A = this chain, B = another copy of it.
Amino acid sequence: MLSFTEAKAHIANLPLFLQVETIPVWQANGRVLAENIIAAQDLPAWSNSAMDGYAFQRNDIINASEENPIVLPVSNIIQAGSTTQHTLKPNQCVRIFTGAPIPENADIVIMQENVTVTPNGIVIRKCPKQWNNIRQMGEECTAGKVLLKKGTQLDSATIGLALSASIHHVVVWKHPKVGIISTGDELKDPRKGGSLTVGQIWATNTINLQMAFQTMGLDSIDCGIAQDTLDSTRATLLHAIDEQNVDILVSTGGVSVGDFDVVHKALADLPGHRVEMNFWKVKMKPGKPVAIGTIFTPNKTIPIFALPGNPVSALMGFYQFVRPYLLGKMGVPNPELSTIEVTLGEDFQKRGNRLEFVRIWLDRQQDMTIAFSTGHQSSAWMSSFADATALLPFPADKHLLKKGTQCTVQCLPNLGKWPAKWRT
């Protein structure tokens, strides 16, 4: 059986059909840059005042001191928004406000708190440094320089930065068409209403995964529920590939060794398409029965992530495999869940020799982050995933992690949850 690390290496090599598009930057929140952004103008575009005060030429007051105060008459007022280019005459000053353009020749702004105002002008008793309180044109960035790197996932601050440098449109990765298939005779679609009989469960996997894709900014297509027959599974796969034209396919269920697990068989003989599967199992828990491969169509290649049917295992497969794969293909520098160091608040034990991702919650105690199990770690218990704010990778070859140990954990996207202790 493949190790987790070996599985990740296989996945990183799966090709993905990705296109780019150009969109207004104010519609690009969460999108990933497919090209570097080059500043279209200097930042700032023109020298401006960092303070409310007075602007003048340093040479005019170079000899100012307590003994030799120099008076500069105020020749003008420049407020923010003034579009007149003022020129400063020698031995004069202008009243200037934060963000207003510095007049030509001026090389100092003195704060209003630091001068005395008289009917004849302002009195200066000390010569400040040149460029004092002036934000000089181009000091943050000059036109033509790289402002943001490709692979940046745009957010409030990066969008603000791009806009301020006159970038109004950006080239981003087009969202791939993500298709999701569920399999299993026992599944009933909750969106169609009704209630359960014995033997049925609600089909939650497709919805779970759609929410998880949404949280990473991606829409996804519900490609239906396949029954546990070869014909139904094949038909559902072919519909997603040929009719719904997906770029990446995620399925849940039908991949373990049970006699009725038919995704395996359907992919082994998919009419009209060659399929290459990289593996069918990974030495991890939860989520061992997971199959990854590529479907070759005449137009493109479609990566397929065949996740387990168990909702906990399916979501784990999403966080460990699908999410980092997609972000990685778009060039995001840290596509994995963010990791931090924590201190274990209790002993963690496991049997077996698989890498286990333990659902944990993080508590803050005296400037330390303490990790506790969210409870029953069965892959049938979604409540212990619902309470989790992080995942503890419990190494394959370890069986005990003692209370007090420092460990690296993966943060889940929703850190603001109730601590799981309310359940007890």
Residues of chain A whose beta carbon lies under 8 Å from any beta carbon of chain B = 24, 26, 29-30, 41, 43-46, 50, 52, 79-85, 97-101, 135, 140-141, 147-149, 151-153, 155-161, 163-164, 166, 168, 184-187, 190-191, 193, 195-202, 204-205, 207-212, 214-215, 227-228, 256-260, 309, 311, 315, 318, 327, 332-335, 338-341, 364, 367-369, 376, 378, 380-383, 385-386, 388, 406, 408, 411, 413-419, 422
Q: Is the CB of B207 within 8 A of A163?
A: yes
Least CB distance from A48 to B in Å reads 8
Question: Does more than half of chain A's interface fall in helix, strand or loop, or is it mixed?
Answer: loop
> A157-B315, A164-B201 are contacts. A148–B82 as well, Cβ < 8 Å?
no
Q: A83 contacts which chain B residues (CB < 8 A)? A: 197-200
Least CB distance from A271 to B in Å reads 25
- Name the one of B200, B210, B338, B386 contacting A81, with C-beta atoms under 8 angstroms: B200
- Name the one of B45, B152, B196, B418 contacting A166, with C-beta atoms under 8 angstroms: B196
Q: Is the CB of B228 within 8 A of A79?
A: yes
- Name the one of B80, B160, B212 contacting A311, with C-beta atoms under 8 angstroms: B160
Q: Is the CB of A141 within 8 A of B383?
A: yes
> A333-B418, A417-B333 are contacts. A29–B211 as well, Cβ < 8 Å?
yes
- Name the one of B80, B160, B311, B415 contacting A186, with C-beta atoms under 8 angstroms: B80
- Name the one of B135, B153, B258 contacting A98, with C-beta atoms under 8 angstroms: B258
Q: A376 contacts which chain B residues (CB < 8 A)? A: 140
Q: Is the CB of A79 within 8 A of B185?
A: yes
Q: Is the CB of A151 within 8 A of B199?
A: no
10 example contacts (A-B, Cβ-Cβ < 8 A) are as follows A41-B196, A50-B380, A79-B260, A80-B184, A80-B228, A135-B380, A151-B418, A156-B318, A157-B388, A159-B207
Q: In the complex, given contacts A81-B227, A166-B202, what are 4 additional A-B residue pairs having Cβ atoms less than 8 angstroms apart? A: A79-B185, A135-B378, A156-B208, A333-B418
Q: Is the CB of B381 within 8 A of A416?
A: no
Q: Which of A152, A158, A168 is the most central at the interface, judged by chain B CB atoms within 10 Å of its CB?
A: A158
Q: Is the CB of A80 within 8 A of B383?
A: no
In the bound complex, how far is the Cα of B311 from the Cα of A161, in angstroms?
A: 9
In the bound complex, how far is the Cα of B386 from the Cα of A152, in angstroms?
A: 10
Q: A205 contacts which chain B residues (CB < 8 A)? A: 160
Q: Is the CB of B260 within 8 A of A156?
A: no
Least CB distance from A148 to B in Å reads 7
- Name the one of B81, B148, B207, B214 contacting A199, with C-beta atoms under 8 angstroms: B81
Q: A197 contacts which chain B residues (CB < 8 A)? A: 83
Q: Is the CB of B256 within 8 A of A201?
A: no
Q: Which of A141, A168, A190, A191 is the most central at the interface, judged by chain B CB atoms within 10 Å of its CB?
A: A190
- Chain B residue nearest to A135 (CB atoms) is B380
Q: A52 contacts which chain B residues (CB < 8 A)? A: 256-259
In the bound complex, how far is the Cα of B248 from the Cα of A400, in angstroms?
A: 51
Q: Is the CB of B382 within 8 A of A100?
A: no
In the bound complex, how far is the Cα of B202 from the Cα of A24, in angstroms?
A: 14
Least CB distance from A125 to B in Å reads 22
Q: Is the CB of A160 within 8 A of B416?
A: no
Q: Is the CB of B418 within 8 A of A386?
A: no
- Name the one of B147, B159, B200, B210 contacting A383, with C-beta atoms under 8 angstroms: B147
- Name the one of B140, B210, B227 contacting A381, with C-beta atoms under 8 angstroms: B140
Q: A411 contacts which chain B residues (CB < 8 A)? A: 338, 415
Least CB distance from A1 to B in Å reads 15
- Chain B residue nearest to A416 (CB atoms) is B334
Q: A383 contacts which chain B residues (CB < 8 A)? A: 43, 140-141, 147, 161
In the bound complex, how far is the Cα of B155 from the Cα of A315, in angstroms?
A: 12
Q: Is the CB of A341 within 8 A of B368?
A: yes
In the bound complex, how far is the Cα of B338 from the Cα of A364, in angstroms?
A: 10
